Amino acid sequence: MAQLNLHHLRLFRAVANVGTLTGAARALNLSQSAVSTQLRTLEAMLGHDLFERKGRGLVLTEAGRIALDHAEIIFRTADDLSATLARSRRQRGVLRVGALSTLSRNFLIEFVAPMIGRQDVEVVIRSGTQADLMRGLDGLTLDIALTNLIPARDSASPYLVRELYEQPVSIVGFPKSAPRRAPLAAILSDNPLILPTPETAVRTGFDSLVARLGIVPQIAAEADDMATLRLLARAGAGLAVLPPIVVRDELASGLLVERAQLDGITERFLAVTLQRRFPNPLLAEILDASDTLHSG
């Protein structure tokens, strides 16, 4: 079989994306006959028809869908190689970090702190939904995604998930909000509470806890992100159920105090990366620094 080349695959991908030879030729600034000839050459190399005609357009055959999946992998690898070698020519490295928009900002800043202030490193931080982060990894616009949600994976998935930190969840509030030595059941039943929203893992654990204790909590407020939980706690809306790292500065200053730790309920902070042939060398540095910070 003749050797495949990127030119053939680029023409094939353009036809697959546009759905017509005319549209692909226009997008590539080539004649329609040239695109058609190169496409037939590729089909001859592979020994399969890649398209079938439906109406005025072209749709992928089963072999075409398989070929397109492999072509996308090849182009991502080529782009990754170009980006990595381009980085090696620059004096400053760039680390692109994505963070789940609901994640603790304190944890995010703590994670990137080893790279901040370095003359040889620029840190780019983007926030978004879990889907945004996975698209960023897939598109190679992010080197790492910080989240507390495990991405959907199977044996063919390219994601690598690494637990960075697991912290117990506590009840936190103003010093005068509850007696210091009150039993947990009394704290939970006698005070308005600020809770994560029901779809979060922390809330699931909390709901199981109060069910076991036979308590119907007084819910003052709910929020789906750590920053809002922190602000509600600072505003005195009630006792907040959250990981202490979210209100680290308030605990250190004495504005808020930790009333109790909720045994068995934790928040996991995860790093998701993509299996890459040429990973950003700064990744190993920052992950090693995180391991050192949270060891022991």
DSSP track, 53-79: EETTEEEE-HHHHHHHHHHHHHHHHHH
| Alpha-carbon span 36 to 50, nearest angstrom | 12
| Alpha-carbon span 92 to 99, nearest angstrom | 22
- 108 occurs within a structural domain: yes
pLDDT exceeds cutoff 70 at 62:
yes
DSSP-derived secondary structure letter, 191: S
What pLDDT sits at residue 123?
93
95 in the same domain as 58: no
Q: Give the chain's mean pLDDT.
A: 87
What pLDDT sits at residue 1?
46
Q: Map residue 261 onto helix, strand or coil.
A: strand
| Alpha-carbon span 5 to 71, nearest angstrom | 10
- 255 occurs within a structural domain: yes
170 in the same domain as 158: no
Give the residue numbers spanning the domain of 177: 166-267
- Residues 161-186: pLDDT tens digits? 999 988 899 999 998 755 557 788 98
Structure confidence at residue 278 as a pLDDT band (50, 70, 90) = confident
| Alpha-carbon span 266 to 291, nearest angstrom | 18
Residue, of 85 and 238, whose pLDDT is higher: 238
Q: What is the mean pLDDT of residues 212-235?
A: 92
Q: What is the mean pLDDT of residues 86-112?
A: 83
- Least trusted range by pLDDT, from 182-186, 194-198, 207-211, 249-253: 182-186
pLDDT exceeds cutoff 70 at 89:
no
161 in the same domain as 91: yes
Helix, strand, coil % over all residues of the chain, rounded to 5: 45, 25, 25
Closest CA to 96 of 234, 254, 274, 280: 280
